[in-house]
A and B are shown apart, each in its own frame.
Chain A
């Protein structure tokens, strides 16, 4: 994928550097339920279903999507906390997708994670010094006084009082605990840090502190982030590029600003319209696209485009053919969407009752794929759109 950023007036330019982490067709299925006595095939949850992704050195890639869409699973596949069902992950050109845990150890120094829950991610029975010093201990890098000195430097770096070296996690606030998690991730000076919703469990004021901290550390240590969140405003603020996931697959990838200005995938547009706006006047003027129904079960994802049962623009072909991630509506190579009927510039999704809600499983007949939902009355023919004011 070549960089084509000339038309993109992004506030955070897209670095065109080398690819640090390359994922191709990553698939992760989880078996559900017990084995049946007759040994018939078990159902699987299609948590991640064929995701390809490049993360370039020095950039921040935002990963958004609603709860349960496979963001965290994807992150754990990329860092090889989970074994992949299929697909490949390359880190600095080396295929790590089939390495054993022992073989992964040298790579662990270069890819670290920051976790969502500042309470769950720190062992309550270990002192902070021991938690932050654990990476040194695991990799046999520093001992005794040297380790303590390095740990205290890290604590200072992330804005903690080094004197609290001997305290326990329970004696810190949520924001401070997240700083401990950041310090631990930073200890080995990794190249890539996967932040799994690092601020979603924090107060808004603390969120800003942690985001500023991450941003300062990025410029200081030339870090690359994969930043997972469901808060779109946070992602827009920190990301160079944003990946939108829906039900285990990538719906759209774009530099942050184009994604927010001209979303191509109807799911992205719906997601954006659901994000809270601080200005009440703007918020009132905006029309919300309310998607009907819950995401379909990842055990049996819909055929064709996974979004089609909830998509207000769904056409018969959406249920048949899986859309490819391609530039749409004349976008550059940096802006790709997996949609047969992408939104044009300024086009808006029909709101409210016009949304066709259907439940079409994989067993649906291809020639009659989209059925109007009860009460919507609107057949799946052409849908009229309001012009944006």
Chain B
């Protein structure tokens, strides 16, 4: 459409010819996805993440190839005559642990816990953080002051001490781990969202929505939220590896999922007594943790670049 001539309005685009197919615009989301698809590092990371997810979901199927149950102890075949773990072999692909269990099977079962905690705790974190940040940033005033103080309090609590004392009351379990992680993560999300909302709130399109008579809920949902979602998505992809690492830490300290359920942190914790004689015992679960968190981090970097191509790389 040209914008030439100062004269009259009607002469400009002309009356519309009835359209056959309306011209579809490319949404900002789609533009970001197209940029992301051109990012090779992010794409490779995404493929690795998908593979890890598939392995975790299909863990029983994969385990059936080896014929080993994750909790089955192979005291005859899986341990040396001295009772030490056996190294990688045709039967035990990644070796065994000190109880003669198949390390490979335990690692892929451990991925289930890591990803479950990673995804569920992250989702809870994001939902709570976004709601709190939206309310604090949008309404301001006393609501903002109260919520911002709550955020400050949470961010200043000593996480490990709090986790230890909580678990000592309730006993370790999967859900306690998830709740503890979410409890300590929502505050930073809330802070990010609040900052974004504070700037979005002053945009003229929010004022326009108000002048149309939109309700606060409608403005927050349709006008504010979609515009703070991009940094939230970026933060989510970077939060998942942090949560996975935190879960591993809790399990390492015996505060996470209790044995015999295999978790990466738990396996690493058990391996500390044997790393001198059984390198595979510490290297393979450690590598699994490293690859997973690294893939999520690299993918998150790609997502950030895709959403904000002008931003400087860190």
A114 shortest CB reach to chain B, Å: 9
Distance in angstroms between the alpha carbons of A184 and B210 in the assembled complex = 13
State whether B203 touches A120 (Cβ < 8 A): yes
State whether A116 touches B204 (Cβ < 8 A): yes
State whether A208 touches B6 (Cβ < 8 A): yes
- A324 on the B face (CB < 8 A): no
Point out the residues of chain A lying under 8 angstroms from B13, CB to CB: 159-161
- A139 on the B face (CB < 8 A): yes
State whether B3 touches A166 (Cβ < 8 A): no
State whether A81 touches B211 (Cβ < 8 A): yes
- A108 on the B face (CB < 8 A): yes
State whether B223 touches A123 (Cβ < 8 A): yes
Interface SS, B side: loop
State whether B15 touches A120 (Cβ < 8 A): no
Distance in angstroms between the alpha carbons of A170 and B227 in the assembled complex = 14
- B10 on the A face (CB < 8 A): yes
A173 and B3 in contact (CB under 8 A), knowing A212-B9, A216-B9?
yes
- B26 on the A face (CB < 8 A): yes
- B209 on the A face (CB < 8 A): yes
State whether B6 touches A209 (Cβ < 8 A): yes
Quick one: which of B5, B15, B210, B212 has the most chain A CB within 10 A? B212
- B275 on the A face (CB < 8 A): no
A123 and B214 in contact (CB under 8 A), knowing A115-B208, A176-B1?
no
Distance in angstroms between the alpha carbons of A67 and B251 in the assembled complex = 61
- B27 on the A face (CB < 8 A): yes
- B90 on the A face (CB < 8 A): no
- A104 on the B face (CB < 8 A): yes
Point out the residues of chain A lying under 8 angstroms from B1, CB to CB: 161, 176
State whether A166 touches B23 (Cβ < 8 A): yes
A120 and B28 in contact (CB under 8 A), knowing A108-B211, A126-B226, A205-B6?
no
Q: Which of A79, A120, A127, A158 contacts B205 (CB 8 A)?
A: A120
Which residues B113-134 have CB closer than 8 A to chain A?
Answer: none
A-contact 0/1 string along B91-130, CB 8 Å cutoff: 0000000000000000000000000000000000000000
State whether B208 touches A167 (Cβ < 8 A): no
State whether A117 touches B204 (Cβ < 8 A): yes
Distance in angstroms between the alpha carbons of A162 and B207 in the assembled complex = 25
A125 and B218 in contact (CB under 8 A), knowing A168-B28, A171-B25?
no
Point out the residues of chain A lying under 8 angstroms from B205, CB to CB: 120-123
A123 and B227 in contact (CB under 8 A), knowing A115-B208, A212-B9?
yes
- B16 on the A face (CB < 8 A): yes
State whether B28 touches A104 (Cβ < 8 A): no
- A189 on the B face (CB < 8 A): no
- B8 on the A face (CB < 8 A): yes
State whether A135 touches B212 (Cβ < 8 A): yes
State whether A170 touches B223 (Cβ < 8 A): no
Point out the residues of chain A lying under 8 angstroms from B218, CB to CB: 138
A197 shortest CB reach to chain B, Å: 11
- B222 on the A face (CB < 8 A): yes
State whether B204 touches A159 (Cβ < 8 A): no
Identify the closest chain B residue to A105 (Cβ).
B213
Which residues A122-179 have CB closer than 8 A to chain B?
Answer: 122-128, 134-135, 138-139, 152, 155-156, 158-168, 170-171, 173, 175-176
Identify the closest chain B residue to A125 (Cβ).
B226
- A113 on the B face (CB < 8 A): yes
Identify the closest chain A residue to B227 (Cβ).
A125
Identify the closest chain B residue to A217 (Cβ).
B9
Distance in angstroms between the alpha carbons of A127 and B26 in the assembled complex = 9
- A234 on the B face (CB < 8 A): no
Point out the residues of chain A lying under 8 angstroms from B211, CB to CB: 79, 81, 108, 111-113
State whether A123 touches B25 (Cβ < 8 A): no
B127 shortest CB reach to chain A, Å: 20
Point out the residues of chain A lying under 8 angstroms from B204, CB to CB: 115-117, 120-121
A206 and B3 in contact (CB under 8 A), knowing A138-B218, A167-B25?
yes
8 interchain pairs, CB-CB under 8 A: A108-B211, A108-B213, A113-B208, A117-B204, A121-B204, A161-B16, A206-B3, A213-B9
